Structure 1
Amino acid sequence: MHTPHPTAPKPAAGRFGIFSHELRSEDPTLQDQLRDAAAELEELGFGALWLGGNSSVRHAAHLAGSTEHILLATGILNIWYEDAGTVARQRAELERAHPDRFLLGLGASHAQLAQNYQRPYSTMVEYLDALDTAPVPVPAERRILAALGPKMLRLARDRAAGAHPYLVTPEYIEQARHVLGDGPFLAPEVTVVLESEPARAREIARGFLGYYLQLPNYAVNLQRLGFTDDDLTGGGSDRLVDALAVWGTDDAIRTRLTEFHTAGADHLALQIIAKEAHEALPRAQWRHLADIVGLTAKSTPAHT
């Protein structure tokens, strides 16, 4: 069993990254745009690109050549769809070509979305065992788990660099940090709506959240945090939407993001929910977000 070395440094991801389903698109007409967008996000100063939507090593490899130092992470690779041996081999190839650029985010997904879904915790343990015993193993400090419940969080603490939870609140982050301890990397996805008008902001957020609130893994976690069945219906109550989606003026958004860091997050994987559904890549909003969190005023770190 490969556990992280107690003095292993946390992934070099900075305080903010971008989480995007769009960046892992396989649409052939978008590939040049994806590479250009990845290069711009690096130039803006974001420390990591989290590729959402059942992403794989090859999606990260596709963006590695157009960037120099930004961390590329899967958010997440679905363990039901990708063989561990193949993943370890692909990861070794990417590591040889672009050393220290990739973080393997792993998740057990949901019963509604994965065929042959059963025993997710035990299956994750077996998957990590397979990564440990591959011809070129995936080091524990170069992988991260999409953990929500206490049991998976402890596994993330013991067998990975840390946890990459999705659809959580600062209160959850405080609890997760308590389970993980100080050492592991805690990098939640955080949903952001760049809209200050309350009704419009919540409308945009509900259009995004409604789907996820129907998935039991998320619903159960939110109920553990004190939300009720009423909060989870109709795309979410105002209380739930305001807890899960960061929106408001630039100052309000900055303040809300600070709450996640204060609660114990090392890094925030920021997911923009675009106001216009037809936007392939919300690049103008990514630029605005970089300005909000103070990245654009800083120089891009040199590749070392």
Structure 2
Amino acid sequence: MRWGLTVPLTGVPIRDHRPLITELASLGYTDLWSAEVAGADAFTPLVLASEWDEQLRLGTAVVPVHTRGPAALAMSAAALADLAPGRFVLGIGASSETIVTGWNGIAYDPPLARTRDVLRFLRTAFAGEKVDGEFDSFTIKRFKLEKAPEIPPAIMLAALRPQMLRLAAREADGAITNWLSASDVRQVRAELGDDKELAARIFVCVTEDTEMARNIGRYLIATYLTVPGYAAFHDWLGRGEQMKEMRDAWAAVPVSLIDELVVHGSAADCRARIDAYVANGLDTPIIAALPTGTDLLETARALAPVR
């Protein structure tokens, strides 16, 4: 069983993660995954982690396929693959129009085509071959990595709905998903198939103050699940009616929805809830520890798996 943690922890400077990262493997963690939204980029925390630990698998969940050119993305990934040979997973995804266009001023190409084309470009580049030609969403002229990674990184796709899950099943090494309940895993797994790795970021709030946990979850859900991609994901999962009132009035997030999508309670309760995701077909839980006013370094230690 794999057991992952999201870094950096909210509010903890990247340099202050070293004591925790050096002990994660001994606690039972197998993976360390970064994110990329509006804080740290996806690569820097993992570069540091590669120097602080030699056991953990390192992954990006995820790098947007629009905000870096294909060559720049390949170079960053190849450098990290060189620092952590055989232990790096490159997670890529379409992100959202808000991040790509609103924040970066870049046109939001059709997400499925762009993700597929970047995936195919990366496979060729990591093999040390020259990439020269037209893809559906871009054209590359005579690019070749100066030093292709000796062990090419696995590539996983951020996937929320059937088309992207099927692309991951056909051409990637697995899929990474987000904002789902333990029972939702079965539906996602059925679309991906049994042969590919399925990872999911799970939002975890270690507190027995239920109202605090729900308030934190309410804010996050209203922020994320009104984004078109996530809204469509939950329509597919069958929550359209449950979320209708929330979409009409952002603050009206049903308590039942919060309790399904945000794991909260004591550390033992949270571990048991995460185990339920695994029992339903998840290979790699990626814990995203939410701040509750307590020390998140200690929270990460408390959420270590019970072996």
Q: Say whether the fold is shared (TM-score over 0.5).
A: yes
Q: Does 1:47 align with 2:30?
A: yes
Query: Could you say which residue in structure 1 is the equivalent of 2:284?
Result: 267
Query: How many angstroms does 1:251 deviate by?
Result: 4.2
CA contact (8 A) 1:77 1:106 kept: yes
Query: Could you say which residue in structure 2 is the equivalent of 1:217?
Result: 229
CA contact (8 A) 2:34 2:43 kept: no
Q: Secondary structure at the match of 1:192?
A: strand
Query: Could you say which residue in structure 2 is the equivalent of 1:162?
Result: 174
Query: How many angstroms does 1:147 deviate by?
Result: 0.4
- Structure 2 CA distance for aligned equivalents of residues 126 and 176 of structure 1: 23
- Structure 1 CA distance for aligned equivalents of residues 224 and 208 of structure 2: 23
CA contact (8 A) 1:141 1:160 kept: no
Query: How many aligned positions are there?
Result: 273
Task: Note the alpha carbon deviations across 1:76-99, whole angstroms, 9 max, x for none.
Answer: 111111222222233333333321
Query: Could you say which residue in structure 1 is the equivalent of 2:245?
Result: 230
Q: Identify unmatched segments of 5+ residues in structure 2.
A: 102-106, 129-147
Query: How many angstroms does 1:64 deviate by?
Result: 0.4
CA contact (8 A) 1:88 1:137 kept: no
CA contact (8 A) 1:167 1:244 kept: yes
Select the residue among 211, 214, 230 that pairs with 1:199: 211
- Structure 2 CA distance for aligned equivalents of residues 218 and 283 of structure 1: 29
Query: How many angstroms does 1:220 deviate by?
Result: 1.6
Query: How many angstroms does 1:267 deviate by?
Result: 1.3
Structure number having the greater strand percentage: 2
- Structure 1 CA distance for aligned equivalents of residues 252 and 16 of structure 2: 32
Query: How many angstroms does 1:212 deviate by?
Result: 0.7
Counterparts of 1:120-199 in structure 2 under 5 Å? Answer: 120-134=111-125, 135=128, 136=148, 142-199=154-211
Task: Note the alpha carbon deviations across 1:32-85, whole angstroms, 9 max, x for none.
Answer: 313333223233221111101244334422220111110111111111112222
Q: Which ranges of 4 or more aligned residues in structure 1 deviate by more than 6 Å? A: 137-141
Write the letter of the residue equivalent to 1:120: P
Q: Identify unmatched segments of 5+ residues in structure 1.
A: 1-13, 296-304
Query: Could you say which residue in structure 2 is the equivalent of 1:248?
Result: 265
Query: How many angstroms does 1:190 deviate by?
Result: 0.7
- Structure 1 CA distance for aligned equivalents of residues 150 and 92 of structure 2: 12
Residues 1:31 and 1:180: Cα distance change in structure 2 (over 3 Å) = closer
TM-score, structure 2 as length reference: 0.81
- Structure 2 CA distance for aligned equivalents of residues 248 and 97 of structure 1: 37
RMSD over aligned CA atoms reads 2.4
CA contact (8 A) 1:141 1:161 kept: no
Q: Secondary structure at the match of 1:62?
A: helix
Residues 1:95 and 1:252: Cα distance change in structure 2 (over 3 Å) = closer
Structure 1 vs Structure 2: percent identity of aligned residues? 27
CA contact (8 A) 1:231 1:239 kept: no
- Structure 2 CA distance for aligned equivalents of residues 275 and 45 of structure 1: 24
- Structure 1 CA distance for aligned equivalents of residues 197 and 54 of structure 2: 22
Query: Could you say which residue in structure 2 is the equivalent of 1:81?
Result: 67
Query: How many angstroms does 1:260 deviate by?
Result: 0.7
Query: Could you say which residue in structure 2 is the equivalent of 1:65?
Result: 51
Write the letter of the residue equivalent to 1:173: V
- Structure 1 CA distance for aligned equivalents of residues 288 and 169 of structure 2: 24
- Structure 2 CA distance for aligned equivalents of residues 82 and 219 of structure 1: 25
